[in-house]
Structure 1
């Protein structure tokens, strides 16, 4: 929902990953922002209107993203999609980051537009593996964002570091960067940013993609 710059970019990137995509916007002129190669559906209407959502194929959707220019519209659409159509994988963009925690408690991941881009939204709805954010001059050390298996929620960061042989550089929690402190645990929807030897990224991601090993 929403075919502004972020919505059009997301649609193009998702289709580039091989997914079928439908875009809903109440302004038909907005579809001009889509890539010229875009082959998905274009539905003119409100993203929280059930008929418009049905035209977009919401009954078969794996994920839904609301990135219109209105916080209320995005949240309403996300809730309709989740509660009426049973799509659990939803993300809503908001302009007011102070409201993020409220919506998280409703079970709707949110991204604050001033801090996030289309890439971060994609990470919320697709398992992309490890994404490199920084490498030192020698390319031997990287800071990467890794997908974490749900079973890691509640685990201490110290244990994550021990089992992966990495250092947690920082977390992104509720759209905010957080410096780790002793005893901190992984929470649902956290993005974990790790400092890791570049040639070990694949091995680290395999560890984090599975449930953590049980204590001896």
Structure 2
């Protein structure tokens, strides 16, 4: 997958480093040449100096064949302009943007651009880590409203059908790892000892899921 990241700050550099280790083709754009120093030594991706909303810079980065575009500069205005250019002019399939002022998130939403808000994300993560320490999200969507959480099922749930764990609008079982193999549970699929289950859960329902999984311990 070819990914163009505009903004080589801590977020952009960390994301780029992770993506290249997974084998993706990563192209970074930043106005400051010195930003490249945040990338790991020997970083195999391209680094271009310029504005992320400049068509000439974006085309030099290969946006015509990009599969995803991420705008994570320190300026909301730059992020929205570059993200909109990627989405509307170059028709990049996946476009994401960082928004520092949560009040501007509605602008992105109207344009159909998913966002990650620094403030909302930080608050959500801190809240989860304080109250749900053993339920660490594997992935979050939107601004953290919906999460993917993995947990080993307690022994008292052995034999129960996995679909029984679903709570409409709040919790849903989406995957199970058993003896190292990942499975999509069919209706009537029973839980076995040692099952590692992936739940899609509303952030507001983490407490309910935690209570459900901790029932055997009485916590």
TM-score, structure 2 as length reference: 0.60
Quick one: distance in 2 between partners of 1:198 and 1:47?
41
- When residues 33 and 163 of structure 1 are mapped into structure 2, their CA distance, relative to the original with a 3 A threshold, is same
Quick one: distance in 1 between partners of 2:60 and 2:19?
19
Unaligned 5+ runs, structure 2? 1-5, 123-136, 142-146, 155-160, 188-197, 199-219
Question: Secondary structure of the equivalent of 1:114?
Answer: helix
Unaligned 5+ runs, structure 1? 125-130, 142-161, 169-181, 185-191, 209-216
Root mean square deviation of aligned Cα? 3.4
**2:116 matches 1:111:** yes
**2:97 matches 1:84:** no
Q: Which residue of 2 aligns with 1:203?
A: 183
- When residues 163 and 24 of structure 1 are mapped into structure 2, their CA distance, relative to the original with a 3 A threshold, is same
Checking the alignment, whether the CA contact within 8 Å between 1:25 and 1:43 is kept in structure 2 is yes
Match of 1:140 among 132, 153, 162: 153
Q: Which residue of 2 aligns with 1:6?
A: 11
Question: Secondary structure of the equivalent of 1:22?
Answer: strand
Q: Which residue of 1 aligns with 2:72?
A: 67
Rg larger in 1 or in 2? 2
More strand by share: 2
